[in-house]
Amino acid sequence: MSVERKPVSFDGMRGWLDTLEKAGEIKHVNGEVDWNIELGTIARLLQGPATGPSVMFNNIKDYNKPDSRCKKVFTGGLSSYRRIALMLGLPADTHPRELVKLGRTLLSGTIPPKIVKTGACKENIITGDAVNLYEFPAPYWNRLDGGRYLMTYGGCVTKDPETGVMNVGVYRGMIHDKNRIPILMWRAQHIGHHVTAWQQGGASEVPIAVAMGVEPSIEFVAGAPVPKGICEYDVAGSIRGAPVELVKCETVDLYVPANAEIVIEGFLQIDPAKYLPEGPFAEFTGYLAGDPAPKPAIRVTAITHRNNPILRGTIEGALPGSYSENTVTSSIMRAATAWNVLDRSGVPGITDVWCNPVQAGIHLLIQMKQSYRNQAKQAANAIWGSSAAHVRYKHVIVVDDDIDIHDYAAVDWAIAYRVNAGEDDIIIMPSTFGLGLDPSTRKRDRNPTLFGTGKWNRVLIDATMNLDYDPDPDFGGARFPPKAWPEQKDIDAVKKRWTELGLDKK
């Protein structure tokens, strides 16, 4: 039975921080921390496997003077399912399975934003030669990064020049100098669609704004696969149960959350002659990725911010034992999106879908109640033929409905004893569009112009019981032998004696 959701409007990141304080979900680091490597290392170690706290760094070297423009960095707000549940207005202990079920309809709700005259993000306005990105404590997150990454969890706002519909996405951006930020973006993303449209109209630059330190619902949808043509502000409004209040930027014709901590305005330089070097960066794969190369750069024209602003950032990359915010949120929305794709494609019998956060949706686990042989292949083809598979779902693993896909041991057991490679239970789909950041992809196959973002050879592992096997009369006509789990009547009988036998004692 699904839990009831009560949408919550947090009134900006500061309202969200108050909620986290009351819930005991935030850790304050008050000792001086160096923005150079140390801050990122602490953030990485504190993440845990979606179990760590959110973290506020209150004392950052070189940014702890009385006249420092920005003194704090906040990270980890969405790196646990407890906090995602709180953001969605659910009990903190809600199981990820319920979050996926909710995610199936979450991106289809809309409440249009409300335009207001001004907001807290306008308390300080910096333009022209006064713009200096180094006044903000952008961490050097990882020792092998190409530089200081200011943009790690900011909502990048662009708009379609023809329809005027805005998009809010999350893209990495590195400080090049005091007023330029080269970013990583792909043509297949919604920002890429906008860039192409502006370019076809003869433009050499694209208006852009980056809002950092906003409500968690905006951060959540900015990194989710919201359908093209739907503005993330509308979806965030639905999640929070009230319109997102927006103000117009100072130097570009775009709108940003009125209570954002920091807003960077400018123009994305899409003329290759004005590209700047960007990368590499420790990416969501858990590996250094994104080769150093010239990339489109934001020419910053204005910065607006609240009094005593808090820089919102995040350590990227999931590794065993340390899951990033992106991978935790992706595990929900990528699973929910895949489930919807399967339903729309008419694949029957789907009972659960999951993406473990350690691999951020590169593996897709599908639980189904089989009614015919090769149903798993139908599911894989439906997924791989969808645009949702752009940089996800390289490996699809399908199991029967007696296997808990949230239990890796159960999935591993199913693969061990229900997969027969000689019966076409392992299928390779060669040379498809994929993820150029994947280190298993050859460098020559990471050409975004030729392959979109990269070339993948996708794999289906059909770990369901083979319905084409002959019925075995020794097992009552079943195609597989019975599992070695006690019958329920035997379990009930021993449970009655559990206390008597002293088995309930620790």
Give, for 433, the enclosing helix (H) or strand (E): strand 426-433
State pLDDT tens for residues 41-89: 999 999 999 999 999 999 999 999 999 999 999 999 999 999 999 999 9
Say which DSSP state 422 is in.
G
Token output for 317:
């990359």
Query: Do strands 395-400 and 455-463 pair parallel, antiparallel, or not at all (unpaired)?
Result: parallel
Whether the pLDDT of residue 374 is over 70: the answer is: yes
3-state secondary structure 118-157: CCHHHCEEEEHHHCCHHHCCCCECCCCCCCCEEECCCEEE
| Cα–Cα distance for residue pair 282/28, rounded to 1 Å | 25
Average pLDDT, the chain: 94
CA angle at 229 for the pair 338 and 169, rounded to the nearest 5°: 70
pLDDT at 404: 98
Q: Which residues pair with 56 in a beta bridge?
A: 28, 74
pLDDT at 506: 62
Lowest-confidence pick of 100-114, 198-212, 305-319, 432-446: 432-446
Token output for 298:
């934001």
Question: What average pLDDT does this structure show over 189-205?
Answer: 91
- What confidence tier does 1 reach under pLDDT thresholds 50, 70, 90? very low
| Cα–Cα distance for residue pair 190/4, rounded to 1 Å | 32
Q: What are the two backbone dihedrals, phi and then psi, of residue 40, each rounded to the nearest 5 degrees?
A: -65, -35
DSSP 252-289: SS-EEETT-SEEEEEEEE-SGGG-EEE--EE-TTSSEE
Spatial contact of 102 and 5, defined as CB atoms under 8 Å apart: yes
Map out the domains of the chain with their CATH numbers: 12-312 (2.30.110.10), 325-463 (3.40.1670.10)
DSSP 360-417: TTSEEEEEE--SSTTHHHHHHHHHHTSGGGSSS-SEEEEEETTS-TT-HHHHHHHHHH
Total-model pTM: 0.93
- List b or e across 376-403, with b for residues whose CB sees 16 or more CB atoms inside 10 angstroms: bbbbbbbbbebebbbbbbbebbbbbeeb
The percentage of the chain sitting over the pLDDT mark of 70, rounded to a whole number, equals 99
